């Protein structure tokens, strides 16, 4: 099952620039950009841990499988159809 990289969304929520995060984590802008756009083939656990520490999050916030993402979007659509509006789904509140 494909993995969706949500680094861009987490970075936007934290209002942190790519260059600032790359500097804090200790990796190049190019490598972080590849990860952010989903073009990276792999990531070291130590790098993932450093990114999570810098962004104050867990790996599930950055990497999410498509089935869980589909389930979240389906739930949002059902709530919308029933006339209940939701602002944004914060993945910090989703327990897996």
Give the three-class secondary structure for 14: helix
Give the burial class of 73: count Cβ atoms within 10 A of its Cβ; 0-12 exposed, 13-18 middle, 19 or more buried. Answer: exposed
pLDDT (tens, 9 = 90+) of the chain, 96 residues, equals 577 788 998 999 999 999 999 999 999 999 999 999 888 888 899 999 999 999 999 888 888 766 676 777 777 777 777 666 555 445 444 433
- Delineate the domains of the chain, giving CATH numbers in brackets: 3-93 (1.10.260.40)
Q: pTM for this structure? A: 0.67
Smallest Cα–Cα separation from 53: which of 9, 85, 2, 14? 14
């Amino acid at each position: 099952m494909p993995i969706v990289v949500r680094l861009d969304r987490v970075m936007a929520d934290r209002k942190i620039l790519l260059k600032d995060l790359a500097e804090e984590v200790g990796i190049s802008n190019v490598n972080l950009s590849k990860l952010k756009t989903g073009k990276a083939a792999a990531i070291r656990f130590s790098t993932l841990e450093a990114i999570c520490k810098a962004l104050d999050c867990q790996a599930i916030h950055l990497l999410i499988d498509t089935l869980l993402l589909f389930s979240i979007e389906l739930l949002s659509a059902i709530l919308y159809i029933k006339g209940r509006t939701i602002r944004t789904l914060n993945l910090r509140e989703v327990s897996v």
